[in-house]
Structure 1
């Protein structure tokens, strides 16, 4: 049955997003406006925008579903999401901004002076961004179907169209404004119902959550459907901790800061904003065990946040809270998809489309026009794939994207920023071996029905073996090929680690 309140809230979110995007179009004129918002975004606004795009379907719906299905042991999951920004702050935030790059492939080429390595990184950005887009589009289908009964493809199409128009129209300036405001809306949308539902639970004298299946409320039971919970816990934590710096839509945000110092401040504010938000999703999984216990929710954990208000409150009150949550979920899909499409479109434009157009037009290709065409390609491909691939669960798919990022860009960034002996051949070996192993695990996870035992654990949670493999390959091959160390390594590292004010003097 259609929920008029939920539908109205989703419409408001979509119209507001489009309106802000149209307003942002008026501010975007130069190429730098489209790619990095003119490098003029302050720490607080940039941190809000990062929070807006980072808090995806996995954060808004998936974490609650994991706690509901996997037990209170899964409370560490949002901690892992946040720890990724601590690692990013300590290791690479300021050097990335000082690199002067627009995208991850830009950084790879500047640091390692190799066009071939740049193209390899471009392929990985497109692959990781598309993989991360899948749960956003599939989650939008779940949310809209829950509210209106529409087929799942409709919700994904709505998100694809709105995001495509906003990114193509205004680029980074446009989506920065949209994402910054959407963070605060998402926080309100998840916090207000949580306080109301907790108050109702406390006043009603309802029982504590039901610990079924056995072990739901015991340590190290989470991921109990897998036979190796300790391995999957550590592997997922490693993916979340190191994968954050390899997510293209996260890293590109630091290029929009005025300088390296602002990039560090941005990361500190991000940690506060993420920590505040992640207080609430586990509460929904916990309350779900009170009001929607056990098998009644089997196979539908991703909608526990949307179902809970009407299970706790009768009538209009429950519907209004559910509508607020549906609007917040849709904002999560829109904001995260915007950042992903922005990063993928930038790579397609710079490394695929514009070089071809320049050859056809003898160097007269318009940067803005090619970027807009790239945006269309960045949206259409993942949307088509989302309709062909069976959903694995929002948090599971996002976890796989983190695992691929951890096994590819994390070694490249950490070694590229801090190790002067990294060679072009070594970096390529790490990307190929880590990326190939992680991608094979993703394909196997999507393709196989039986993912039990050690094989299932290694495939579904590959970060714990693919990331060390990538680091080892990059280091060993670099040591074996000292002649392939870029000529200007010392000058490049000096630029990455020297404050802007010191360099200007």
Structure 2
């Protein structure tokens, strides 16, 4: 616990008032389930790009990635190459087709493209499982921050993190999520980039930082991770980002195909600023505080112990913004998978629009609470929990999305087998301790791709009407 200045409380209150205000405004603007789930398809490229970046840059970035750089040095930067390759696939092969489909949820795409309620239900279930893992990492980061700052029990920190996010997400839906993400992305990129000169000045300058870290451990300024490690990290995030359900859901909110490409371009700018800043900050903090109980608190200690009160407060807000933006986006995707793809499609197809919105809000509440209990277990440091989630998501969804949108021969049976085998291959590979030093995402995606192609070639093609929304040459 550290002595927190009154400035921090003032800044924190102002921030929460602004975010909750966005939720209230969005709630009054929403008129139907399309407004609630996809913001009336009204989001432009700048806000959309900020939302892409803010959702992707979660606690895994500002708590986890900074902590990994603190612990291991600069070589972890190479994960961004894999991540951006995933974004390029999303911009060229996925995003434009996905946006033009005009669905409401990600399983909407699966059910329509493969003409299968079973494929739709399985995709919704796997999204719920994978995103429960991701929410666990976000809650763990929030609990660590509040515990470090105020000395309160870990669980109360996690509850505060999720509680405020629940309020504006339940009220304003995807519109509130998109506009709050814009505010949060500006805070994230601006704060961390602006703080670097002051941080390195406190650490004795870049030359001293390099010399100190080399003497402390040469791997910090060299290659802590080997080729297989970096390939695994990059592949996890790259394959996952090309077909990440929380980013795909954002594409429905954008105005048109051109907006999708521009928004992804804007998101690159935010991510590049943050990626470089986080890496440099992690190594500077290691110079000032060489030994910490856990690297997950490096960003919090940087804000409170090193920075002046106002700047430190803004950094904490940037970290909380990263957590809350991802929690909000994941809650929307998970809850809509339940309310729209289970309840409104299979349980009560004749449900009214207002009833669907009500069920969605209840689902946000329930699905937002469950990961709190998993976060108490503290299975691993935050970044590696996020990496596991990315591997699982890529393993069950990359083939279904990327091949499904670009290969007409893909069938429902191929999608179902691909999702199930990909998910369990990655899970069992992880449990087995990553044989041969390979990340679980490599065999997971490989099995998923092969099974999708092989099973599709030996099973009945989907009707042409199922292909029409995705292929312009199908009539």
If the length of structure 1 is used for normalisation, what is the TM-score?
0.87
Shift of 1:112: 0.4
Question: How far, CA to CA, are the matches of 1:309 and 1:122 in structure 2?
Answer: 39
Shift of 1:189: 2.3
Shift of 1:393: 0.9
Shift of 1:456: 8.7
Question: How far, CA to CA, are the matches of 2:346 and 2:115 in structure 1?
Answer: 22
Secondary structure of the residue aligned to 1:486 is coil
Question: How far, CA to CA, are the matches of 1:406 and 1:352 in structure 2?
Answer: 22
Give the direction of change, closer, same or farther, for the CA distance of 1:356–1:84 in structure 2 (3 Å limit): closer
Matched residue, 2:394 = 406
Q: 2:315 aligns with which of 309, 320, 325?
A: 325
Shift of 1:343: 0.6
Question: How far, CA to CA, are the matches of 2:53 and 2:230 in structure 1?
Answer: 24
Question: How far, CA to CA, are the matches of 1:77 and 1:62 in structure 2?
Answer: 13
Matched residue, 1:420 = 408
Matched residue, 2:277 = 280
Cα deviation, 1:279-312, whole Å, max 9, x if unaligned, reads 200011221232122xx22x41112122235555
Cα deviation, 1:228-263, whole Å, max 9, x if unaligned, reads x33222122111111013322111000111222221
Matched residue, 1:448 = none
1:24-423 superposed matches below 5 A = 24-201=26-203, 206-208=208-210, 209-211=212-214, 212-219=216-223, 221-222=224-225, 229-293=226-290, 296-297=291-292, 299-309=293-303, 312=306, 317=308, 319-354=309-344, 358=348, 366-387=355-376, 389-423=377-411
The question of whether the paired residues in 2 share the 8 Å contact of 1:284 and 1:304 is answered with: no
Q: 2:463 aligns with which of 487, 491, 504?
A: 487
Question: How far, CA to CA, are the matches of 1:205 and 1:341 in structure 2?
Answer: 44
The question of whether the paired residues in 1 share the 8 Å contact of 2:106 and 2:249 is answered with: yes
Matched pairs, number: 470
The question of whether the paired residues in 2 share the 8 Å contact of 1:57 and 1:332 is answered with: yes
Matched residue, 1:225 = none
Give the direction of change, closer, same or farther, for the CA distance of 1:380–1:312 in structure 2 (3 Å limit): closer
The question of whether the paired residues in 1 share the 8 Å contact of 2:426 and 2:443 is answered with: no
Task: Report whether the alignment pairs 1:496 with 2:473.
Answer: no
The question of whether the paired residues in 2 share the 8 Å contact of 1:13 and 1:331 is answered with: no
The question of whether the paired residues in 1 share the 8 Å contact of 2:36 and 2:175 is answered with: yes
Give the direction of change, closer, same or farther, for the CA distance of 1:477–1:99 in structure 2 (3 Å limit): same
Give the direction of change, closer, same or farther, for the CA distance of 1:26–1:111 in structure 2 (3 Å limit): same
Question: How far, CA to CA, are the matches of 1:395 and 1:6 in structure 2?
Answer: 26
Shift of 1:152: 1.1
The question of whether the paired residues in 2 share the 8 Å contact of 1:32 and 1:38 is answered with: yes
Give the direction of change, closer, same or farther, for the CA distance of 1:98–1:311 in structure 2 (3 Å limit): same
The question of whether the paired residues in 1 share the 8 Å contact of 2:58 and 2:138 is answered with: yes
The question of whether the paired residues in 2 share the 8 Å contact of 1:357 and 1:365 is answered with: no
Unaligned segments of structure 2, at least 5 residues: none
The question of whether the paired residues in 2 share the 8 Å contact of 1:6 and 1:147 is answered with: no
| TM-align CA RMSD | 2.4
Question: How far, CA to CA, are the matches of 1:364 and 1:151 in structure 2?
Answer: 41
Give the direction of change, closer, same or farther, for the CA distance of 1:152–1:441 in structure 2 (3 Å limit): farther
Shift of 1:132: 1.1
Unaligned segments of structure 1, at least 5 residues: 223-228, 446-450
The answer to which of 361-370 and 300-309 deviates more is 361-370
Cα deviation, 1:184-233, whole Å, max 9, x if unaligned, reads 011222222223213444669845342233422223x22xxxxxx33222
Shift of 1:2: 4.0
Question: How far, CA to CA, are the matches of 1:307 and 1:364 in structure 2?
Answer: 47
Q: 2:22 aligns with which of 20, 24, 43?
A: 20
Question: How far, CA to CA, are the matches of 1:372 and 1:207 in structure 2?
Answer: 49
The question of whether the paired residues in 1 share the 8 Å contact of 2:57 and 2:322 is answered with: yes
